[in-house]
Structure 1
Amino acid sequence: MQDKRGIFDNPKNVKLLLKIFFTSCVIIFLTDLIISKHPHYEWEKWTGFYAVFGFVACVILVLVAKYVLRPIVMRKEDYYD
Protein backbone atom coordinates (compact mmCIF):
# COMPACT_ATOMS: atom_id res chain seq x y z
CA MET A 1 0.00 0.00 0.00
CA GLN A 2 1.36 3.39 -0.98
CA ASP A 3 1.87 6.04 1.70
CA LYS A 4 0.04 9.23 0.78
CA ARG A 5 2.01 12.26 1.88
CA GLY A 6 0.83 15.81 1.61
CA ILE A 7 2.78 18.89 0.67
CA PHE A 8 3.33 19.86 4.31
CA ASP A 9 4.68 16.43 5.34
CA ASN A 10 8.04 17.13 3.71
CA PRO A 11 10.19 19.48 5.86
CA LYS A 12 11.84 20.93 2.73
CA ASN A 13 8.46 22.08 1.44
CA VAL A 14 7.57 23.65 4.78
CA LYS A 15 10.88 25.55 4.89
CA LEU A 16 10.39 26.76 1.32
CA LEU A 17 6.84 27.94 2.00
CA LEU A 18 7.96 29.75 5.16
CA LYS A 19 10.76 31.48 3.26
CA ILE A 20 8.29 32.59 0.58
CA PHE A 21 5.86 33.79 3.24
CA PHE A 22 8.41 35.81 5.21
CA THR A 23 9.96 37.23 2.05
CA SER A 24 6.56 38.40 0.84
CA CYS A 25 5.87 39.96 4.26
CA VAL A 26 9.13 41.91 4.09
CA ILE A 27 8.43 43.03 0.52
CA ILE A 28 4.95 44.22 1.42
CA PHE A 29 6.29 46.07 4.46
CA LEU A 30 9.01 47.75 2.36
CA THR A 31 6.48 48.89 -0.23
CA ASP A 32 4.78 50.73 2.61
CA LEU A 33 7.82 53.02 2.65
CA ILE A 34 7.73 53.66 -1.09
CA ILE A 35 4.05 54.09 -1.95
CA SER A 36 2.55 57.48 -1.20
CA LYS A 37 -0.44 57.39 1.09
CA HIS A 38 -3.53 59.54 1.33
CA PRO A 39 -4.49 59.05 4.96
CA HIS A 40 -7.65 60.30 6.58
CA TYR A 41 -6.24 60.11 10.11
CA GLU A 42 -2.84 60.92 11.55
CA TRP A 43 -2.06 57.36 12.69
CA GLU A 44 -2.48 56.05 9.15
CA LYS A 45 0.75 57.89 8.24
CA TRP A 46 2.81 55.71 10.58
CA THR A 47 5.09 53.21 8.87
CA GLY A 48 3.72 49.70 9.23
CA PHE A 49 0.42 50.87 10.74
CA TYR A 50 -1.70 48.45 8.72
CA ALA A 51 0.64 45.52 9.42
CA VAL A 52 0.47 46.15 13.18
CA PHE A 53 -3.27 46.83 13.05
CA GLY A 54 -3.91 43.58 11.15
CA PHE A 55 -1.76 41.55 13.55
CA VAL A 56 -3.42 43.01 16.65
CA ALA A 57 -6.89 42.52 15.15
CA CYS A 58 -6.09 38.89 14.35
CA VAL A 59 -4.81 38.21 17.87
CA ILE A 60 -7.90 39.83 19.39
CA LEU A 61 -10.15 37.78 17.09
CA VAL A 62 -8.47 34.53 18.14
CA LEU A 63 -8.66 35.39 21.85
CA VAL A 64 -12.33 36.37 21.64
CA ALA A 65 -13.13 33.16 19.75
CA LYS A 66 -11.27 31.04 22.29
CA TYR A 67 -12.34 32.60 25.58
CA VAL A 68 -15.74 34.14 24.79
CA LEU A 69 -17.39 32.28 21.92
CA ARG A 70 -16.08 28.77 22.59
CA PRO A 71 -17.71 28.45 26.03
CA ILE A 72 -20.99 29.65 24.54
CA VAL A 73 -21.18 27.11 21.70
CA MET A 74 -19.32 24.21 23.34
CA ARG A 75 -21.38 21.21 24.44
CA LYS A 76 -20.56 18.44 26.87
CA GLU A 77 -18.89 15.34 25.52
CA ASP A 78 -22.02 13.20 25.99
CA TYR A 79 -24.42 15.82 24.56
CA TYR A 80 -25.82 13.51 21.87
CA ASP A 81 -26.03 10.36 24.02
Structure 2
Amino acid sequence: EGASAILNITKKPNESFNHILDILNAGVNSVKDMLDSLLELSRLESGADEVELLSVNIADVLQQLAAEYQAVALKKDLRLSTE
Protein backbone atom coordinates (compact mmCIF):
# COMPACT_ATOMS: atom_id res chain seq x y z
CA GLU A 1 0.00 0.00 0.00
CA GLY A 2 2.96 2.31 0.48
CA ALA A 3 3.58 3.32 -3.13
CA SER A 4 -0.09 3.51 -4.01
CA ALA A 5 -0.74 5.63 -0.91
CA ILE A 6 1.96 8.08 -2.03
CA LEU A 7 0.43 8.18 -5.50
CA ASN A 8 -2.95 8.78 -3.92
CA ILE A 9 -1.64 11.79 -1.99
CA THR A 10 -0.01 13.29 -5.08
CA LYS A 11 -2.58 12.14 -7.61
CA LYS A 12 -3.37 14.45 -10.43
CA PRO A 13 -6.93 15.58 -11.09
CA ASN A 14 -6.96 13.40 -14.21
CA GLU A 15 -10.02 11.12 -14.01
CA SER A 16 -8.31 8.29 -15.91
CA PHE A 17 -5.33 8.40 -13.55
CA ASN A 18 -7.65 8.33 -10.54
CA HIS A 19 -9.49 5.30 -11.96
CA ILE A 20 -6.23 3.41 -12.52
CA LEU A 21 -5.11 4.33 -9.01
CA ASP A 22 -8.38 3.01 -7.58
CA ILE A 23 -7.86 -0.29 -9.43
CA LEU A 24 -4.28 -0.47 -8.15
CA ASN A 25 -5.41 0.14 -4.58
CA ALA A 26 -8.13 -2.51 -4.85
CA GLY A 27 -5.60 -5.02 -6.21
CA VAL A 28 -3.10 -4.29 -3.45
CA ASN A 29 -5.80 -4.66 -0.80
CA SER A 30 -6.95 -7.93 -2.35
CA VAL A 31 -3.43 -9.38 -2.33
CA LYS A 32 -2.94 -8.21 1.27
CA ASP A 33 -6.18 -9.90 2.33
CA MET A 34 -5.14 -13.14 0.61
CA LEU A 35 -1.73 -13.10 2.31
CA ASP A 36 -3.34 -12.40 5.69
CA SER A 37 -5.69 -15.35 5.14
CA LEU A 38 -2.80 -17.64 4.17
CA LEU A 39 -0.82 -16.60 7.25
CA GLU A 40 -3.82 -17.21 9.47
CA LEU A 41 -4.39 -20.64 7.90
CA SER A 42 -0.72 -21.48 8.41
CA ARG A 43 -0.93 -20.51 12.10
CA LEU A 44 -4.06 -22.63 12.54
CA GLU A 45 -2.53 -25.65 10.80
CA SER A 46 0.66 -25.41 12.87
CA GLY A 47 -1.30 -25.23 16.12
CA ALA A 48 0.07 -21.78 16.94
CA ASP A 49 -3.49 -20.45 17.17
CA GLU A 50 -6.54 -22.17 18.54
CA VAL A 51 -9.92 -22.16 16.89
CA GLU A 52 -12.76 -21.00 19.08
CA LEU A 53 -16.21 -21.93 17.86
CA LEU A 54 -18.92 -19.44 18.75
CA SER A 55 -22.65 -19.43 18.27
CA VAL A 56 -23.90 -16.62 16.08
CA ASN A 57 -27.32 -15.41 15.14
CA ILE A 58 -27.27 -15.91 11.37
CA ALA A 59 -30.22 -13.54 10.92
CA ASP A 60 -28.19 -10.72 12.49
CA VAL A 61 -25.19 -11.50 10.29
CA LEU A 62 -27.34 -11.51 7.15
CA GLN A 63 -28.99 -8.23 8.13
CA GLN A 64 -25.59 -6.61 8.65
CA LEU A 65 -24.42 -7.83 5.26
CA ALA A 66 -27.61 -6.65 3.59
CA ALA A 67 -27.24 -3.21 5.17
CA GLU A 68 -23.62 -3.06 4.03
CA TYR A 69 -24.40 -3.98 0.41
CA GLN A 70 -27.76 -2.22 0.05
CA ALA A 71 -26.21 0.84 -1.63
CA VAL A 72 -24.35 -1.35 -4.13
CA ALA A 73 -27.54 -3.23 -4.96
CA LEU A 74 -29.50 -0.01 -5.45
CA LYS A 75 -26.87 1.37 -7.83
CA LYS A 76 -27.35 -1.73 -9.95
CA ASP A 77 -31.15 -1.55 -9.72
CA LEU A 78 -31.23 -4.73 -7.63
CA ARG A 79 -33.39 -5.49 -4.63
CA LEU A 80 -31.60 -6.98 -1.64
CA SER A 81 -33.71 -8.68 1.01
CA THR A 82 -33.05 -11.02 3.94
CA GLU A 83 -36.67 -12.09 4.36
**Into which bin does the TM-score normalised by the smaller protein fall?**
0.3 to 0.5
Instruction: Tell which has more relative contact order, 1 or 2 (C-alpha 8 A, sep 6+).
Output: 2
TM-score of the pair, normalised by structure 2: 0.40
TM-score of the pair, normalised by structure 1: 0.41
**For the pair shown, which has the larger CA radius of gyration, 1 or 2?**
1
